[in-house]
Amino acid sequence: MVIAANAPDFDAVTFFMGGPTYIRWHRNITHSLIAIPVMALVTLLVVRLLGRKQIRWLPAFLIAIVGVASHIVLDLTNVYGVRILLPFSGQWFHWDMTPIFDLTLWAILLLGVIAPWFGRLVGSEIGEHKGRPGKGWAIACLVLFTAFDYGRLVLHDRAAATVDSFLYSGQKPLRAGAFPDENPLIWGGIAELNDSYVSGTVDLRERFRPNSVVRYYKAQRTPVVDAAMQTVPFRRFLEFVQWPIWQTEPAPDLERATRVSLIDLRFGTPSTPGFEAVATVNDRGQVVDSAFTFGTPRPK
């Protein structure tokens, strides 16, 4: 039975921090608007102490603010998101434009590092001495970076609008979303209906086929699910999850017990979960164990 709630190198992180701790503190107050000047000042102090050189504090501070703010904006563009209103609100904001790890963006950044170095190397060989060979490359990479992200935004909105434009079993979506793939022309489309979620691939090079979607039916809340929701892993995950799917099934290791799981459709499916909170609840409604994992796909 499946019930919907209304509400990456992760193995090492799970070992050292624990899943609920990671969800709570990853991209926490340091990624909020109120922390931007603080983080910028900390950056300047580190540069000053390690570099042991005098710096022009006001210009450097303004540049550091731009750098910290740009980091937060980049985190906003991906599917994970940030809580920019902390400590006043724990709401997550995410634009779902780029994967958490985007090879194209990393290639652009790498170009900005390698190209100036290569230019200086060539210049030294032929005896040319130019002032700042990296400035032009930095501007070019910034333009490429911005253009790529803007293109991703346009394609994301198109994919989400495509999913939202169809009826599914006669139902109009309550909301629709699109989540990035490595290929900017391919997106994971999701729509919430009155009684279910539907999920399918949106290939912008082809016509979307609504009859090819996978459907996950909603179900009634049960005491077993309510018991699981009281545990720390579930409470922490419920603060983060955006497209939640609950699943209940007989527990494999305990007789007359129920395994309850909660996933986020942004990161997986019930058969191949990404982030997942799990709990075992016995026949008396008591939670035997609970945990949060970063996803070990199970066979269908």
pLDDT tens digits along 182-201:
899 999 999 999 989 999 99
Q: How far apart are CA 13 and CA 280, in angstroms?
A: 23
Q: Are 244 and 263 in contact (CB under 8 A)?
A: yes
Segment among 72-76, 198-202, 218-222, 279-283 with least mean pLDDT: 218-222
Q: How far apart are CA 28 and CA 23, in angstroms?
A: 9
Q: Are 191 and 173 in contact (CB under 8 A)?
A: yes
β 196-203/186-192 pair status: antiparallel
Q: How far apart are CA 260 and CA 247, in angstroms?
A: 6
At residue 15, the pLDDT reads 43
What is residue 289's three-state secondary structure?
strand
Confidence of residue 297 (pLDDT cuts 50, 70, 90): very low
At residue 298, the pLDDT reads 40
At residue 106, the pLDDT reads 86
Helix/strand/coil (H/E/C) assignment for every residue in 132-199: CHHHHHHHHHHHHHHHHHHHHHHHHHHHHHHHHCCCECCECCCEEEEEECCCCCEEEEEEECCCEEEE
pTM value is 0.80
At residue 129, the pLDDT reads 54
